[in-house]
Structure 1
Amino acid sequence: MGTILLCRHGETPWNRDRRVQGWAPTELTERGREQADALAAFLDAEYAVDRIVASDLERAAETARAISRATGADATFDDRWRERDFGRFQGLTYDDLFGTYPEYTLSEIGYAAAETVPESGESLLDMWERVGAAFADLRAGIGDDETVAVVAHGGPLYAVTGDIKGLDVVAAVLDQDQGNCAVNEIRVGRDAGGGVAAGGSATVELVRENVTSFLPEATTQENY
């Protein structure tokens, strides 16, 4: 079996200020760098990481570089693992976005909110589709006994873990938590299977979810 370690990036100033990041080139805060170093140490101690795949956005790339330094594994970057592109709403606080534009609020509108496309951006379902394609390619190409660390964002993590658990897009976002530098351990087998997550030729199992216990106490999670 192969192992995929699906991780979220460390804290950024916009996480801290509860702002919509989208594709903004935000960097990690000092706290976020501490989180990334703790994540890297945890992965190095608990797993034998063979390679790293990461979103090319700076906050994920910076986190991936910390893992690479600790484990010695090389990192490659794939823009399909990016967060949702929120277009012109990028930089707004979540309160301003959902208070002014309720059509994007999953908790109020439901599935229709996932279909709504912001100007110069993409819908939640668009993001779901590209992340699903990235995960399918990774799953199909993983070697037996290979361990791949993936560094991405909250949205892609909700998409993958939600799909494995059979959640619809609304429940996947509203009923799950993914803290900064959270780890999700996914085992990939070679038996025949079905469903989007299983991909027909491989089975997947979510073994550990939203693991953050290795983080310093000073980095208590805020899941934005």
Structure 2
Amino acid sequence: MTEIWFIRHGETPWNREGRLQGWQDIELNTAGRDQATHLAARLAAGEHTFTALYSSDLQRAHATAIPLGAGLDLRIRAEPGIRERSFGILEGLDLHRIDELAPEAAAARKSRDPHLPIEGGESLGQFQARVIATVSDLAQRHADERILAVTHGGVLDIIWRRASGVALDGPRPVPLLNASINRIGIDDRQWQVLEWGDIAHLDTESASDIVP
């Protein structure tokens, strides 16, 4: 079985402001950099070993991966396939105002319909296919190994649903926390959640289940 520890990137200013990030290349804020430091210290002091470290090619993920790579002596490998979903014209908008600012695109996002496109972005179905194909490829490349992958909230949502057998429009009772550890086991085509939303390395107040 391949074990992949998926990490959501640390907090960004847009996370805190409630703005949809998508493919916008937003940096970590001070809290996010602190979260990445605490995460790296925990994993470096732990008993588990990792054979590879992957990161989304967006800087908020890469910056979270930098202290991990230093602490574990692993090279960061950029993987665009675990980049956040492209939200097109919704990116940068305040989530509380997207219904008035871009009603058609906002309705498509809210519907969770895999076939409805968002202007300038990816449909949910396209995003799901990209994430599942990328993660499946990583599992094949690292059969029976344990690896790390720093990614985004939307990607974690897709991974949890695939491993839990929950439809795209079904309820998700688990959080998508900044700098959290989310462990998935993959054996051939079988995915399973081993552990989710572990933030033992953070102060509870510093973790947030906020927008992608």
TM-score, normalised relative to structure 1:
0.85
Equivalent pair of 1:2/1:187 in contact (CA under 8 Å): yes
1:216 aligns with 2:203: yes
Where do 4+ consecutive residues of structure 1 move more than 4 Å? none
Greater length-normalized contact order (CA 8 Å, ≥ 6 residues apart) = 2
Equivalent pair of 2:12/2:26 in contact (CA under 8 Å): yes
**Which residue identity lines up with residue 183 of structure 2 in the other structure?**
E
- Aligned counterpart, 1:103: 107
- Aligned counterpart, 2:186: 188
Residues in 1 aligned to 2:7 and 2:167: alpha-carbon distance in whole angstroms: 21
- Aligned counterpart, 1:192: none
Find the residue that maps to 2:32 and give its secondary structure: helix
**Which residue identity lines up with residue 31 of structure 1 in the other structure?**
A
Residues in 2 aligned to 1:160 and 1:9: alpha-carbon distance in whole angstroms: 15
Deviations 1:25-65 (A, max 9, x none): 10000000011111112222332122111110010111111
- Aligned counterpart, 2:53: 52
- Aligned counterpart, 1:147: 146
Change (3 A) 1:222 1:40: same
Residues in 2 aligned to 1:207 and 1:25: alpha-carbon distance in whole angstroms: 30
Deviates further, 28-37 or 97-106: 97-106
Residues in 2 aligned to 1:45 and 1:128: alpha-carbon distance in whole angstroms: 34
Residues in 1 aligned to 2:198 and 2:99: alpha-carbon distance in whole angstroms: 28
Residues in 2 aligned to 1:210 and 1:40: alpha-carbon distance in whole angstroms: 16
Change (3 A) 1:98 1:70: farther
- Aligned counterpart, 1:167: 166
Deviates further, 6-15 or 210-219: 210-219
Equivalent pair of 1:43/1:49 in contact (CA under 8 Å): no
**Which residue identity lines up with residue 16 of structure 1 in the other structure?**
R
Equivalent pair of 2:36/2:64 in contact (CA under 8 Å): yes
Displacement, 1:221? 2.1
Residues in 1 aligned to 2:8 and 2:163: alpha-carbon distance in whole angstroms: 17
Residues in 2 aligned to 1:127 and 1:169: alpha-carbon distance in whole angstroms: 11
- Aligned counterpart, 1:67: 68
Could you tell me which runs of 5 or more consecutive residues in structure 1 were left unpaired when the two chains were aligned. Answer: 190-197
Displacement, 1:90? 0.8
Q: Which has the higher helix share?
A: 1
Q: How many residues were matched structurally? A: 207
Instruction: Among all aligned residue pairs of Structure 1 and Structure 2, give the percentage whose two residues are the same amino acid.
Output: 30
Residues in 1 aligned to 2:2 and 2:132: alpha-carbon distance in whole angstroms: 18
Residues in 2 aligned to 1:159 and 1:153: alpha-carbon distance in whole angstroms: 10
Displacement, 1:171? 2.2
**Cα RMSD (Å) of the superposition?**
1.8
Residues in 2 aligned to 1:67 and 1:216: alpha-carbon distance in whole angstroms: 19
Could you tell me which runs of 5 or more consecutive residues in structure 2 were left unpaired when the two chains were aligned. Answer: none
TM-score, normalised relative to structure 2:
0.90
